Amino acid sequence: MNFAKNYLSKYGILIALLVICIVLSIATPYFFTVQNLVIVLRQVSINGILAIGVTFVIIAGGIDLSLGSVIALTGVIAAGFAHPNTYPVMMPVLVGLSAGVLIGTINGLTITIGKVAPFIVTLGMMTIARGLALVLSNGRPVTNLSPSFNFIGGGDVLHIPVPILLFALVILISSVILKYTRIGRYIYAVGGNENAAKASGIRVNRVKLFAYIMCSGLAALAGIVLASRITTGQPNAGIAYELDAIAAVVIGGTSLLGGRGSIAGTVIGVLIIGVINNGLDLLNVSSYYQQIIKGIIIIGAVLLDRKNARQ
């Protein structure tokens, strides 16, 4: 019975997404064209990769506020290794991802071994990473990047933009991890009841560490994609991106209390935010109003979810 309920609440958001799409298609015919939908997907892929990362952390009962700064820092670092005729394109990618993994490790260890609340650790890391990005770049955008690096964010493979392909790959791998691996199951258990997880022989600290590394690692990937897309390592990039990512996760039905949620839900949440942004742009709604509408949708989605959960 509850299984059906779970599906109903999952379908609830899916239906909401479809309704929004239908309304927008009627309001502005251009919305439902291949060109525009590809644009939407490309636009959401960065927030999508971020949101999937933070889904791991939130299901494990934590939070990560440092994502936006990690994007800027890893973008700047990657750009530093991406000037033409210096290193092969794998270099900036690997260095950027390593920086993300390192930040995730620091976050995770401070939270598990240091026993500091995730909110505080990642709030601190938010300003540390932002500061580092500014220090490393001297506060100036890192430009003059190689064409092969710029291909990551701007190129197409078989007419599909590379960011969309990366997003799809991240969705696939993350879904498999959460659903079909032990560590995935342990993430739910740790978020649902840490004590019970421990008593079941689960090494709770390792599970949390994994979640934070996944989260910062994916933020680094998003940072690389963004730097490549705007052909600049921008130390001021990504401000408040973590909020959009967390909003998508919440809209997707993942509980901020931990233990409950899914990648599918997060992807739908990301699409809802993306489609609305795009649609309101097409309808020439001022960006001031867009913010208000987005806020209403976040709260509305959670209200809907609560109602479903209560029934």
Partner 1 sequence: MNTDYILCVEHISKSFPGVKALDNVQLNVAKGEVHALMGENGAGKSTLMKILIGMLQPDSGKIIFKGQEVNFSSVHEAIAAGFSMIHQELLPFPELTVAENIFMGREPVHGWLGWINRKKLYADAKALMHKLGVTINVNRLMKTLSIAEMQMVEIAKAIANKAEVIIMDEPTSAISGREVDILFNIIRELKKEGIAIIYISHKMDEIAVIADTISVMRDGKYIGTYPANELDNKQLINLIVGRELDTIFEKRISKSGKPLLEVKKISGEKFSDISFDVSAGEIVGIAGLMGAGRTEIVQAIFGLDKIYAGDISINGKPIKISSPKEAIKNGIGLVSEDRKKTGLVLSSSVKHNITLAALKKFSPGALLNLQREKQVADEQVKKFNIKTPSSNQVVNYLSGGNQQKVVIAKVLLNDPDIIIFDEPTRGIDIGAKTEIYKMMTELAVKGKAIIMVSSELIEVLGLSNRILVVRKGRIAKELKAADATQEMIMEYAME
When binding is defined by CB under 8 A, the residue of 49, 50, 189, 221 that contacts partner 1 is 189
- Measure the CA–CA gap between 57 and 55, rounded to whole angstroms: 5
- Measure the CA–CA gap between 197 and 189, rounded to whole angstroms: 6
Least Å distance, CB 175 to partner 1, is 12
- Please report whether residue 85 would count as binding partner 1 according to CB under 8 A: no
Closer to partner 1 by CB, 190 or 270: give it: 190
Q: CA of 5: how far to CAs of 10, 223, 256, in Å?
A: 8, 37, 19
- Please report whether residue 3 would count as binding partner 1 according to CB under 8 A: yes
- Measure the CA–CA gap between 192 and 265, rounded to whole angstroms: 18
When binding is defined by CB under 8 A, the residue of 188, 210, 212, 241 that contacts partner 1 is 188
Partner residues linked to 142 by β-bridges: 233
Residue range at the interface with partner 1 (CB under 8 A); choices 82-90, 133-141, 179-187, 217-225: 179-187
Residue range at the interface with partner 1 (CB under 8 A); choices 39-47, 106-114, 146-154, 190-198: 190-198
Least Å distance, CB 208 to partner 1, is 15
- Please report whether residue 264 would count as binding partner 1 according to CB under 8 A: no
When binding is defined by CB under 8 A, the residue of 58, 202, 220, 248 that contacts partner 1 is 202
Q: CA of 261: how far to CAs of 53, 159, 175, 191, 206, in Å?
A: 13, 33, 11, 10, 20
When binding is defined by CB under 8 A, the residue of 21, 171, 197, 218 that contacts partner 1 is 197
- Please report whether residue 200 would count as binding partner 1 according to CB under 8 A: yes
Q: CA of 167: how far to CAs of 111, 117, 287, in Å?
A: 28, 30, 26
- Please report whether residue 115 would count as binding partner 1 according to CB under 8 A: no
- Measure the CA–CA gap between 129 and 217, rounded to whole angstroms: 14
When binding is defined by CB under 8 A, the residue of 193, 264, 290, 308 that contacts partner 1 is 193
- Measure the CA–CA gap between 244 and 96, rounded to whole angstroms: 22
- Please report whether residue 255 would count as binding partner 1 according to CB under 8 A: yes
- Please report whether residue 138 would count as binding partner 1 according to CB under 8 A: no
**Residue 248 in contact with residue 51, Cβ under 8 Å?**
yes
Give the list of residues 6+ apart from residue 6 with CB closer than 8 angstroms, or none. none
When binding is defined by CB under 8 A, the residue of 192, 243, 264, 281 that contacts partner 1 is 192
When binding is defined by CB under 8 A, the residue of 35, 85, 138, 195 that contacts partner 1 is 195
**Residue 233 in contact with residue 141, Cβ under 8 Å?**
yes
Closer to partner 1 by CB, 180 or 288: give it: 180
Nearest alpha carbon to residue 264 among 59, 37, 104: 59
Q: Give the binding site for partner 1 (CB under 8 A).
A: 1-3, 176, 179-182, 185-186, 188-189, 192-193, 195-203, 255, 259-260
